[in-house]
Structure 1
């Protein structure tokens, strides 16, 4: 069966929103690009009127351009295996697919078969999140992974000693993939559900919260993350550009957090916060590394 490729050029702030909307229309897989988003759907399920209605829905909020093309049937698994290369983070983490051999030189061996979801570590934001995690003590901790995708962040948390990891995503296929990857990595302490931050028990508390999503979601949800954070807990965020870092930092500080460390790579940013002023490297102005 042939597939339709939809190439969307739009603001990165709307990538997650359009991914969710297109998923409701039957699109099966998504790839983030430098210009926006590529989405794929089988030809019989493609509806051009539904697509035009969706674009019109957001036309007043952001500029959206799109192109549609038909793809001949291919061996997608073979092409993915050909292009997927392991990545290494801070000489400690190696992220690989199940068809790659392990490498004993790395402390943490993370196996990710991404299928249709994101988070293989190849994107700058995911790699920075992994590196930020290496700076924290996860032993015996409770962790929340917001918008978990492949589950890569939750899996590293478990491998670093977390006692309990709750992860969630709005996409059913992402949840299934994260569960499969947790099993591949023998991480039974990782629990994954489909939903949003509103579905997390407000009475629950976490020592570390991980959120690799986008600027708009972070600005809306950081106050909620803080209510779920234990005293002396940490929040790591990414998924936004450097020029948005000040807005994210301001929201976090207004919510009671202290800036600890910032990282930047290819215009993308990751920030680490804590809800105590006792962190030895804390500073009123963000420290970029």
Structure 2
């Protein structure tokens, strides 16, 4: 695949600004991000590059008093998956309970749950906080023999952890064919069973469930649009964990959830990212 290499210069150049920028760029097709001195270097397949969509994303950047400019060039033709994996993907460590790493990492700390993944370009750095927030939620939840849906599963890290903690059967769904293939590979790497992976969006949920637990780590707009379809797959006392949005978005998420019969339980936050838990009371 041919890629463009974009260099985004951010002012101010802070971790928060760059993280928000990565999340937004991920929604318009960018697949991986590397922090640099002036901001972010980002990669997108040439066939998916829509410069007008990129300009709109920058123009609608949600943090005030932020200036973003960019330049781009055709990326050198090499195996960018391998390059990114070896140089930029770092293990994710959640206390002493969970560590997520690849096969090439050495001296990985011991943890109760050890998850191996083969990260692909679609595994961006921008969603680290949201992933870890839901991991923390799963580690604190009773999952044994509960049916679980991981919606927008990406690499299926969350479904794999849930299965390790006793959830079954598990269903993992993503709109991206690449993510589906990578999920199947990661499930095999971790020697877990009872996780069914399929390609699709929320419309594919018709006839599925009901689920005891639903995870949706996507983004604000998709969650607001698809929440009613999640609820249709729930029963009384089913739990819904959602992330992929900012603390400022919690009010809108909660309003839509309560319209659909969900009861707010709590939220967690990390670097302005948020995760919320709801229970369906029927």
Check 1:79–1:234 CA distance in 2 against 1; reply closer, same or farther (3 A cut). Answer: closer
Aligned residue number for residue 170 of structure 1: 175
Distance in 1 (CA, whole Å) between partners of 2:144 and 2:263 is 22
**Structure 2 residue 4 is the aligned partner of structure 1 residue 4:** yes
Please give the residue correspondences for 1:56-95 in structure 2 after superposition, counting only pairs within 5 Å.
62=60, 66-73=70-77, 76=80, 77-78=82-83, 80-95=85-100
SS in 2 for 1:144: strand
SS in 2 for 1:199: helix
Check 1:240–1:2 CA distance in 2 against 1; reply closer, same or farther (3 A cut). Answer: closer
Aligned residue number for residue 157 of structure 2: 152
* Residue-by-residue CA offset, 1:132-162 (whole Å, 9 max, x unaligned): 1112111111111111111111111111111
1:235 maps to which of 240, 244, 252: 240
* Residue-by-residue CA offset, 1:108-136 (whole Å, 9 max, x unaligned): 11111211222789711110010011121
Aligned residue number for residue 132 of structure 1: 137
Q: Displacement, 1:215?
A: 0.5
Check 1:137–1:143 CA distance in 2 against 1; reply closer, same or farther (3 A cut). Answer: same
Aligned residue number for residue 65 of structure 2: none
When the two structures are superposed, what TM-score results if normalisation uses the length of structure 1? 0.78
SS in 2 for 1:18: coil
Check 1:226–1:119 CA distance in 2 against 1; reply closer, same or farther (3 A cut). Answer: farther
When the two structures are superposed, what TM-score results if normalisation uses the length of structure 2? 0.79
SS in 2 for 1:219: helix
Q: Displacement, 1:231?
A: 1.8
* Residue-by-residue CA offset, 1:8-45 (whole Å, 9 max, x unaligned): 799778545422xx7xxxxxx4449798993333xxx5
Distance in 2 (CA, whole Å) between partners of 1:182 and 1:100 is 18
* Residue-by-residue CA offset, 1:236-261 (whole Å, 9 max, x unaligned): 01000111011111111221111112
Q: Displacement, 1:197?
A: 1.1
Distance in 1 (CA, whole Å) between partners of 2:140 and 2:110 is 19
Distance in 2 (CA, whole Å) between partners of 1:98 and 1:270 is 29
Check 1:16–1:4 CA distance in 2 against 1; reply closer, same or farther (3 A cut). Answer: closer
Check 1:216–1:182 CA distance in 2 against 1; reply closer, same or farther (3 A cut). Answer: same
Distance in 2 (CA, whole Å) between partners of 1:18 and 1:122 is 15
**Structure 2 residue 106 is the aligned partner of structure 1 residue 107:** no
Q: What is the total number of aligned residue pairs between the two structures?
A: 263
Unmatched segments (≥5 aa) in structure 1: 23-28, 278-289
Unmatched segments (≥5 aa) in structure 2: 11-19, 62-67
**Structure 2 residue 223 is the aligned partner of structure 1 residue 224:** no
How much is the aligned-residue C-alpha RMSD, in angstroms?
3.4
